[in-house]
């Protein structure tokens, strides 16, 4: 009987399963216990097998016996030694024991169903709604507040997955919304509230910085200097794509006070510039501000706009007795693309508006107002700047209405009305600093009324530099003491004479100049030039200056001036102009002065027909 069992086992083992059978064995090995691919299963040696031919079979087929009682799939031979049913019928221990025991094999147990996943924990039942309070206080709403809106209704909960908790036929459970909180009781008539000061409600648009939001009071008495500094810092640090320019706003109807200190608004700023909008009034107490310093300084700004319909009052009456030791009112320094429009400056300690070291400045619709006897109150002071346009302005002051200092060029003054002051002045030049250079100046469509001087060029003796390429066109003057004046002996404080050298003045043109004078000794036209550096290339066309009293004759004064005249009243005789050529020493002196101002010495040379020298080639002219 034992040999029969071994023979059946040999027949079953020797039959190799097909490829499809291998797939079945592979899939069944995952589902049936005892038939798996455990590579860590212990191996049996040939000596432990009960029969020699089983030992040879074990060596040839490499059958691995698992400790769990089943044969294993061989990875290298890709064959199973027994099919799955035999693996259950003949586990290793039963197979080995069958060599000595002849009991029949046990019946095959039915296959086990696949294990089900553990059931999901049941969802907890919804919480019961809170019990409403036994008694609610009376719902009394304030008349000014709108009634509270009811809270949104929550959706009904989903039924749980377990049918034991809630059957499909059960109705859905709705959670009622919580009751609205009780409104505060109404304020009784006996309730007293403290009298608090009214806080102004300041609302600003995007990019607009109202100085009141930074602590400025605007009552004309409280010092707002620190608040203005904070407001400027916020406006200067503002950056946005639109609007590209921040606005520092002084609202209308308020008076902001700057007491005994200067305000310096220093850039550069973020974004595309800064707009200072003065619609109210700025009042200044200049008594504590150092001399020759600005009270309001705009420094290092690009795309600056100083505008508005307001007034800046310098309070200069308190310091006009200090001679020249006084501060300026407003100064723009080292800035570009500057626009000043709309505002009015009054009573400055020394100067109304000063423009220094700037490029690209436009001043229009601007006005100044100061007494005619206020000392050194220049309306517009231009120094070391280029590309400056002054137009559509009304200037009333006690000194130069427009003064052009050294190192300035490309200046246009047009459509300007001057009612008190010293007119349009170039200079003074040649003193503090000694070198002064002014070129390319256009004065057009200007009215001068009741002034001490009209069109003036003034230089100190002993100075260096040149004044050239200056054109006056379409100017009307009324009761001006010195309508046309070139003074190379200018001296503000005596003594000044005895100094060698002077600035060279040449290429000066007057055309369509009409007016009256109330001073007979001025002669209407006075050209007082230095013998060492005479004035040259002076031309006058269609000039008529008369005395304000009829039947009064004027005699023009010309000293060391080379030039020509046509249709000029009072008549300038030919003998009044210098004739002949310049000496080489004088020509060299003038050429040297021109070279100091950036020109070429060979641009000046001895010219024919008594004109002295040829004009330098200056092609710049942006006047329309």
Residues 340-391: tens digit of each pLDDT: 999 999 999 999 999 999 999 999 999 999 999 999 999 999 999 999 999 9
User: What are the DSSP E strand ranges found in 378-522?
Assistant: 380-383, 386-396, 402-404, 408-420, 424-429, 438-449, 453-459, 466-478, 482-487, 504-517
* Burial track 298-321 (b if 16+ CB lie within 10 A, e otherwise): bbbbbbbbbbbebbbbbbbeebbe
Question: What is the pLDDT averaged over residues 589-607?
Answer: 60
d(CA 237, CA 322): 39
Which residue, 442, 433, 500, is CA-closest to 471? 442
When the candidates are 2.160.20.10, 3.40.50.150, 1.10.357.10, 1.10.3720.10, the CATH number that belongs to 208-581 is: 2.160.20.10
pLDDT at 67: 41
d(CA 35, CA 39): 12
DSSP 253: T
Residues 441-457: tens digit of each pLDDT: 999 999 999 999 999 99
Q: Which two tokens stand for residue 231?
A: 């407001």
Residues 63-86: tens digit of each pLDDT: 444 444 444 444 444 444 444 444
Cβ pair 491, 497 in contact under 8 A = yes
Residues 218-250: tens digit of each pLDDT: 999 999 999 999 999 999 988 776 667 899 999
User: What are the DSSP E strand ranges found in 246-369?
Assistant: 246-250, 255-259, 263-266, 274-278, 281-285, 294-299, 302-307, 311-313, 328-333, 336-341, 344-346, 353-356, 359-364, 367-369
pLDDT higher than 50, residue 199: no
pLDDT at 574: 82
Residues 466-490: tens digit of each pLDDT: 999 999 999 999 999 999 999 998 8
- Of residues 169 and 589, more confidence is placed in 589
Q: How much of the chain, in percent, has pLDDT values that exceed 90?
A: 46
- Of residues 62 and 109, more confidence is placed in 109
Burial class of residue 238 in the structure, from the number of CB atoms within 10 Å of its CB (0-12 exposed, 13-18 middle, 19+ buried): buried
**pTM for the complete prediction?**
0.65
pLDDT higher than 50, residue 53: no
d(CA 477, CA 455): 10
pLDDT at 131: 61
The pLDDT-based confidence of 461 (bands split at 50, 70, 90) is confident
Residues 259-309: tens digit of each pLDDT: 978 899 998 888 788 999 999 999 999 988 888 899 999 999 999 999 999
DSSP for 417-458?
EEEES--EEEEEESSSSSB--EEEEEEEEEEEES-SEEEEEE
- Of residues 433 and 420, more confidence is placed in 420
d(CA 237, CA 271): 8
Q: Which two tokens stand for residue 191?
A: 């309730």
- In degrees, rounded to 5, the angle at the alpha carbon of residue 552 between the alpha carbons of residues 546 and 558 is 60
Give the Å distances, CA to CA, from 122 to 12, 167, 480: 52, 13, 107
What is the residue extent of each domain of the chain? 2-97, 208-581
DSSP, collapsed to helix, strand or coil, labels residue 192 as: coil
Q: What value does the mean pLDDT of the chain take?
A: 75
Residues 523-581: tens digit of each pLDDT: 999 999 988 889 999 999 999 999 999 889 999 999 999 999 999 999 998 888 887 77
The pLDDT-based confidence of 497 (bands split at 50, 70, 90) is low
Question: What is the pLDDT averaged over residues 499-527?
Answer: 90
Cβ pair 352, 378 in contact under 8 A = yes
> Which range among 138-152, 556-570, 588-602 shows the weakest confidence by mean pLDDT?
138-152
Cβ pair 290, 297 in contact under 8 A = no
Q: What are phi and psi of 297, to 5 degrees?
A: -115, 125
- Of residues 531 and 166, more confidence is placed in 531
pLDDT at 2: 66
Q: How many residues does the chain have?
A: 624
Residues 7-48: tens digit of each pLDDT: 777 676 655 455 444 444 444 444 444 444 444 444 444 444
Residues 389-402: tens digit of each pLDDT: 999 999 999 999 99
Question: What is the pLDDT averaged over residues 207-225?
Answer: 94
Active centre residues (catalytic): 399, 422
pLDDT at 463: 86
pLDDT at 433: 79
The pLDDT-based confidence of 586 (bands split at 50, 70, 90) is confident
The pLDDT-based confidence of 323 (bands split at 50, 70, 90) is confident
The pLDDT-based confidence of 206 (bands split at 50, 70, 90) is confident
């Amino acid at each position: 009987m034992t040999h029969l069992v071994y023979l059946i086992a040999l027949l079953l083992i020797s039959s190799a399963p097909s490829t499809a059978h291998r797939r079945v064995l592979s899939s069944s090995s995952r589902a049936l216990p005892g038939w798996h691919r455990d590579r860590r299963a212990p191996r049996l040696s040939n000596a432990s097998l009960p029969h020699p031919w089983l030992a040879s079979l074990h060596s040839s087929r490499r059958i691995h016996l698992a400790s769990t009682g089943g044969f294993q799939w061989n990875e290298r031979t890709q064959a199973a030694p027994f099919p799955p049913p035999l693996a259950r019928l003949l586990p290793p221990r039963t197979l080995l024991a069958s060599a000595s025991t002849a009991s029949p094999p046990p019946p095959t147990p039915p296959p086990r169903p696949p294990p089900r996943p553990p059931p999901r924990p049941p969802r907890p039942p919804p919480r019961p709604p809170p019990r409403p309070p036994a008694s609610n206080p009376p719902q009394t709403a304030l008349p000014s507040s709108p009634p509270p809106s009811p809270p949104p209704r929550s959706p009904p909960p989903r039924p749980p997955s377990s049918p034991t908790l809630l059957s499909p036929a059960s109705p859905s459970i709705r959670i009622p919304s919580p009751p609205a909180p009780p409104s505060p009781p109404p304020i009784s008539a006996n309730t007293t509230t403290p009298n608090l000061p009214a806080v102004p409600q300041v609302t600003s648009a995007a990019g607009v910085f109202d100085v009141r939001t930074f602590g400025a009071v605007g009552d004309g008495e409280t010092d707002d200097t620190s608040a203005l500094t904070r407001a400027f810092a916020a406006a200067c640090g503002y950056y946005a794509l639109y609007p590209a320019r921040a606005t520092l706003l002084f609202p209308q109807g308020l008076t902001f006070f700057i007491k005994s200190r200067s305000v310096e608004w220093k850039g550069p700023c973020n974004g595309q510039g800064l707009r200072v909008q003065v619609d109210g009034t700025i009042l200044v107490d200049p008594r504590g501000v150092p001399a020759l310093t600005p009270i309001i300084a705009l420094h290092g700004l690009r795309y600056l706009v100083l505008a508005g319909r307001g007034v800046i009052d310098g309070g200069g009456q308190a310091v006009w007795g200090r001679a020249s030791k006084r501060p300026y009112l407003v100064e723009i320094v080292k800035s570009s693309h500057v626009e000043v429009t709309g505002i009015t400056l009054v009573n400055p300690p020394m100067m109304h508006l000063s423009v220094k070291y700037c490029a690209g400045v436009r001043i229009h619709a601007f006005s100044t107002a100061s007494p005619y006897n206020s000392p050194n109150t220049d309306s517009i002071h231009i120094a070391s700047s280029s590309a400056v346009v002054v137009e559509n302005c009304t200037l009333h002051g006690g000194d130069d209405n427009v003064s052009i200092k050294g190192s300035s060029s490309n200046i246009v003054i047009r459509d300007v009305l001057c009612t008190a002051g010293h007119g349009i002045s170039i200079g003074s030049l040649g003193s503090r600093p000694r070198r002064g250079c002014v070129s390319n100046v256009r004065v057009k469509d200007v009215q001068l009324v009741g002034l001490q001087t009209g069109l003036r060029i003034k230089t100190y003796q002993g100075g260096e530099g040149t004044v050239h390429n200056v054109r006056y066109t379409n100017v009307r003057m009324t009761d001006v003491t010195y309508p046309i004046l070139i003074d190379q002996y200018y001296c503000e404080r005596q003594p000044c004479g005895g100094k060698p050298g002077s600035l060279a003045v040449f290429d000066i043109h007057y055309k369509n100049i009409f007016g009256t004078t109330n001073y007979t000794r001025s002669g209407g036209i006075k050209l007082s030039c230095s013998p060492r550096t005479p004035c040259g290339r002076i031309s006058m066309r269609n000039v008529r200056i008369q005395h304000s009293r009829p039947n009064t004759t004027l005699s023009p004064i010309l000293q060391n001036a080379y030039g020509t005249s046509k249709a000029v009243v009072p008549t300038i005789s030919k003998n009044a102009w210098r004739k002949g050529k310049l000496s080489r020493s004088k020509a060299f002196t003038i050429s040297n002065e021109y070279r100091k101002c950036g020109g070429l010495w060979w641009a000046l040379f001895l010219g024919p027909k008594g004109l002295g020298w040829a004009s330098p080639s200056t092609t710049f002219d942006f006047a329309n």
